[in-house]
């Protein structure tokens, strides 16, 4: 994969009329701005979303994009599919082809899907070490009882992978519905956890990722994330009470 980061002197020489040997002088004359501040070294890094200005002319202005979608049932969590409607098909944004999906949902699972072109941001959401909770509303075929609470809290052993799931928080809402919060995302994890009790998941709806929630967004609709929502991921740290 081609790196999206380069040294400042190389970037300027490749994107302006100035040779690489002139970049130190341009820096000394404060003619180069990185993200609104005067550059100070030829070795500064120009990343995918660094804003670069030389003599008042913008050389690079690729802003990150963060979008949420309320995914309907029967839509594929993919960027392209020849047979089915994809989450990208439902989004209206001029740069939607740059986006990737942060945490896919199954074909019949509904709810919150996040999309971005910021790889560092999406990796933080995906890593279990971040302990960013993903919360789901679950509808089940059989009635729930308090035994579920203890088992989910302690974790379940998945023989196929040879792993035990991390502690999960389960709240019973009614006889056949619950709210489940996970800090990881194993293959079909929710269905397999309830499968321990031979209880089929009839409906699965993701309502939030960390502090980012659907908040009344209609099914099939999308919107840009607010700066506060974006920062809630960047500034997230694991709560002290979460046990391993």
Active site amino acids: 106
CA distance 125 to 210: 9
Residue 25 tokens read as 């002088």
Q: Where are the beta strands (DSSP E) in 20-107?
A: 32-34, 37-38, 45-46, 52-54, 57-60, 66-71, 100-102
CA distance 40 to 162: 51
User: Any idea what DSSP says for residue 10?
Assistant: H
CA distance 75 to 109: 9
- For residues 136 and 206, is the Cβ–Cβ distance under 8 A? yes
Which of these, 86, 90, 85, 84, lies nearest to 69 by C-alpha position?
90
CA distance 126 to 131: 9
Q: How crowded is residue 214: how many other Cβ atoms within 10 Å of its Cβ?
A: 19
Buried residues in 12-35 as b, exposed as e (16+ CB within 10 A): bbeebebeeeebeebbeeebbbbe
């Amino acid at each position: 994969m081609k790196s999206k980061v380069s040294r400042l002197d190389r970037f300027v020489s490749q994107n302006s009329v100035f040779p690489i040997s002139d970049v130190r002088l341009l820096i000394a004359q404060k003619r180069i701005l990185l993200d609104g501040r005067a550059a100070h070294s030829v070795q500064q890094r120009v990343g995918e979303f660094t804003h670069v200005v030389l003599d008042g002319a913008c050389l690079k202005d690729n802003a990150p994009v963060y979008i949420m979608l309320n995914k309907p049932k029967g839509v594929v969590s993919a960027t392209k599919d020849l047979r089915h409607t994809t989450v990208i098909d439902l989004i209206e944004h001029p740069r939607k082809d740059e986006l990737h999906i942060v945490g896919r949902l199954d074909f019949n699972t509904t709810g919150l899907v996040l999309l971005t072109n910021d790889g560092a941001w999406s990796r933080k959401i995906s890593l279990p070490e971040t302990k960013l909770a993903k919360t789901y509303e679950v509808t089940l075929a059989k009635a729930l009882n308090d035994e579920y609470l203890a088992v989910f809290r302690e974790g379940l052993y998945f023989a196929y992978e040879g792993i035990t799931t991390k502690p999960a928080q389960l709240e019973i809402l009614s006889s056949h519905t619950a709210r489940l919060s996970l800090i990881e995302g194993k293959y079909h994890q929710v269905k397999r956890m309830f499968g321990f009790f031979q209880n089929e998941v009839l409906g699965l709806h993701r309502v939030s990722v960390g502090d980012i929630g659907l908040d009344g967004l209609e099914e099939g609709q999308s919107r840009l994330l607010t700066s506060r929502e974006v920062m809630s991921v960047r500034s997230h740290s694991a709560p002290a009470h979460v046990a391993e």
